[in-house]
Amino acid sequence: MEERLQKYMASCGVASRRNSERMIVAGRVKVNGVTKLELGLKIDPSIDIVEVDGVKINLEKRKIYIVLNKPEGYLCTLKDERGRKTVLDLVKTEERIFPIGRLDYDTSGLLIMTNDGEIYNKVIHPREKINKVYEAEISGNPNLEEINKFCGGVDIGGYITAPANFEIIEKYKENTLVKITIHEGKKRQIRRMCKEINHPVIKLKRISIGQISLRNLEKGHWRFLSDEELEYLNTL
């Protein structure tokens, strides 16, 4: 049965569908020995031979789903040209996996990784909004006016954020520990939002995505998703 080239690549665990499209446009993909640049191209996996960077790809025999507690100082990419550490240095599997979404280099916490392109798309483009919950240590002690501004939506550079939730966990002399809930995923969004209310982020950690949480997972460690968690992702 025919399917789009980028979807087949994602099913093979090469990369997410979006990143597979970038690989195609960059001329890194061949079908039956011929470089293909068309994003709408359909192939028949039963007869067509697909190569990425000169290596033949095949459907992954086993789908895997992982939660990583990413430490600071790791990139959410498969490879870094500057030789910096990536999340694949922490998660060693026989299957090629890729992260669903990103966490900044200096942000820690929950990251879902898989070789299942369909699950990737369910999380990235869910039918319903998914809450993403973070713990942040911010500079200073925000007042009610600043908190209301944050929750109502702020301008982070030509984009007004959607309503969010901001809960104070603990106040210190010079800093504040807060829990922040958003459902968007703009680049460095929480850091930009906190800066906009004049309380820059000192430390940031994602603790949950929808019903998926870190539980007691230590920083730098990973675990497989439970059957219940996978069932939840399939409902998105």
User: Which residue numbers are catalytic?
Assistant: 104
Rounded alpha-carbon distances, angstroms, from residue 32 to 8, 61, 147: 14, 22, 57
**What distance in Å separates the CA atoms of residue 112 and residue 226, rounded to the nearest whole number?**
12
Beta pairing class for 165-171 and 108-114: unpaired
**And the tokens for 107?**
């942000």
**What distance in Å separates the CA atoms of residue 86 and residue 81, rounded to the nearest whole number?**
11
**What DSSP state is assigned to residue 75?**
B
E strands in the chain:
3-4, 29-31, 34-35, 42-43, 50-52, 55-56, 65-70, 98-99, 108-114, 132-139, 165-171, 175-182, 201-209, 212-213, 222-224
Backbone angles phi, psi at 28, to 5 degrees: -95, 0
Beta bridge partners of 208: 133, 213
The conformational region for residue 230 under phi > 0 = left, psi -120 to 50 = alpha, else beta, is: alpha
> Which residues touch 174 (CB under 8 Å, ≥6 apart)?
139, 140
